[in-house]
């Protein structure tokens, strides 16, 4: 696997930290937990999408685009980071937001919504939950073309094979860090949503001949549907990366017990995970992705799936700006 052949924008100049989380590990009396701090990636507010945008924005500029169209949920981290990257490249940015929870779009909401505006997204179009988002972004792109513009469309979460290469890079980077730390992790735990992160990691580990179990924690779909989505994207990403071997379907592992009532809805496990990680390690997770992924890791430790003597890497993919629209959840839990 030689990922240097793909054009990139160079948003990422150095590896993100791989940090031990000794207090959290001790409290759970389980494996040694390590945090891969992709929440500290460059880009407005940090987080995983910068790795994908590094490749996607390079293609946009190669195609001489003057505008970017992308989509996401009303508090999308991907939309925030895309708006930031577009600002940096001097491109217009149009966001199509899917109101997955009825009446959840608040034009004056804090968190990522505030940042969409601050980062200069030119247009925000809100469509009902369940809309065909590929069709909606295509529609927005068509109207820009009618106005004489040259839009580049980035799919939700930046999760196409080119974007997912960003996480094949991360897989190589992580193995390199483990090498220098003398660490042989037993598993990686990651939030699995639009699937580019999970699929890219699988392709990257395969490309390095590393048999390392990747446990995806679904934030949205039931297990079979999410595994199919990850598998399909991992296969395409591996092909793009020039891998000879196929990804095995059996290597795609998703746990769907931590979604709760649905995407972005708070759960007791998420609240516990966010609070515990903050108070043991001083690290902020988020309510939609990493909070539920950590709830999954905590539960899998309590069930004995991961145990003492093992080393587990938790991918911290970012998202903390969304905490600021969940203040009632966390303050109410303290009775305040
Ligand atoms: C987008 C996102 C994820 C999920 O990544 P996918 O590639 O969409 O599966 C996880 N965590 C955070 C904070 C995100 O913004």
Mean pLDDT by 10 residues, the chain (336 residues): 96 97 98 98 97 98 98 97 98 96 93 97 94 97 98 98 98 98 97 98 97 97 98 98 92 98 97 98 98 98 97 98 94 68
CATH 3.40.50.300 is right for the domain spanning 49-158: no
Q: What residues does 257 pair with on adjacent strands? A: none
Give residue 69's pLDDT.
98
Give residue 135's pLDDT.
97
Ligand 1 centroid–CA 321 distance in Å is 13
Q: Which among 71, 75, 115, 157 is the best mutation to test ligand 1's pocket, defined by most ligand atoms within 8 Å of the CB?
A: 157
Q: What residues does 32 pair with on adjacent strands? A: 311
Q: Are the C-beta atoms of residues 186 and 313 closer than 8 Å to each other?
A: no
Cβ of 159 less than 6 Å from ligand 1: yes
Ligand 1 centroid–CA 210 distance in Å is 23
Q: Are the C-beta atoms of residues 48 and 118 closer than 8 Å to each other?
A: no
3-state secondary structure of 283: coil
**Is it true that 3-47+159-333 and 49-158 share their CATH fold?**
yes
Tell me the whole-structure pTM to 2 decimals: 0.97
Give residue 333's pLDDT.
65
3-class SS shares of the chain: helix, strand, coil, % to 5:
45, 15, 35
Cβ of 226 less than 6 Å from ligand 1: no
Q: How long a stretch of residues is the chain?
A: 336
| Domain spans of the chain, in order of start | 3-47+159-333, 49-158
Cβ of 259 less than 6 Å from ligand 1: no
Q: How is domain 3-47+159-333 classified at the architecture level of CATH?
A: 3-Layer(aba) Sandwich (3.40)
Q: Burial of 148 by CB count in 10 Å (0-12 exposed, 13-18 middle, 19+ buried)?
A: exposed
Cβ-based neighbours of 72, under 8 Å, separated by 6 or more: 78, 79, 95, 97, 98, 156, 157
CA pair distance 322, 204, nearest whole angstrom: 29
Buried b (16+ CB within 10 A) or exposed e, 94-133: bbbbbbbeeebbeeeeebbbebbeebebeebeebeeeeeb
Q: Are the C-beta atoms of residues 49 and 119 closer than 8 Å to each other?
A: no
Q: Is position 67 annotated as part of the catalytic site?
A: no
Task: Show the beta-strand stretches assigned E in the chain.
Answer: 18-20, 32-37, 67-73, 92-99, 123-128, 151-153, 187-192, 213-218, 253-255, 311-316
Cβ-based neighbours of 331, under 8 Å, separated by 6 or more: none
Strands 187-192, 311-316: pairing kind: parallel
Q: Are the C-beta atoms of residues 29 and 191 closer than 8 Å to each other?
A: no
Cβ of 172 less than 6 Å from ligand 1: no
């Amino acid at each position: 696997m030689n990922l240097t052949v793909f054009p990139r924008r160079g948003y990422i100049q150095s590896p993100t930290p791989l940090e031990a989380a000794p207090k959290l590990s001790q409290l759970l009396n389980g494996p040694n937990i390590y945090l891969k701090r992709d929440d500290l990636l460059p880009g407005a507010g940090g987080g995983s999408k910068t790795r994908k945008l590094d490749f996607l924005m390079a293609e946009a500029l190669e195609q001489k685009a003057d505008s970017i169209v992308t989509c996401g949920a009303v508090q999308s981290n991907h939309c925030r980071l895309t708006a930031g990257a577009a600002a940096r490249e001097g491109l217009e940015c149009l966001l199509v937001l899917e109101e997955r929870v009825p009446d959840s779009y608040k034009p004056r909401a804090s968190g990522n919504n505030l940042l969409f505006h601050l980062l200069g997204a030119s247009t925000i179009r809100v469509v009902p939950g369940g809309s065909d988002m590929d069709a909606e972004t295509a529609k927005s792109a068509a109207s820009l073309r009618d106005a004489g513009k040259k839009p580049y469309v980035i799919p939700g979460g930046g999760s196409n094979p080119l974007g997912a290469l960003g996480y094949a890079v991360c897989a190589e980077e992580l193995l390199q860090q483990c090498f220098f730390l003398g660490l042989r992790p037993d598993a990686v735990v990651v939030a699995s949503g639009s699937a580019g992160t999970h699929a890219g990691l699988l392709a990257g580990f395969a490309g390095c001949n590393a048999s390392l179990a990747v446990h995806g924690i679904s934030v949205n779909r039931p297990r079979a549907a999410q595994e199919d989505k990850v598998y399909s994207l991992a296969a395409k990403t591996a092909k793009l990366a020039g891998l000879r071997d196929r990804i095995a379907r059996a290597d795609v592992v998703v746990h769907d017990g931590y979604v709760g009532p649905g995407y972005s809805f708070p759960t007791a496990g998420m609240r516990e995970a966010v609070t515990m990680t903050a108070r043991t390690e001083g690290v902020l997770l988020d309510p939609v992705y990493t909070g539920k992924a950590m709830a999954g890791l905590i539960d899998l430790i309590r069930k004995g799936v991961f145990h003492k003597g093992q080393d587990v890497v938790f991918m911290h993919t970012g998202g903390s700006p969304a905490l600021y629209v969940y203040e009632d959840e966390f303050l109410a839990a303290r009775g305040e």
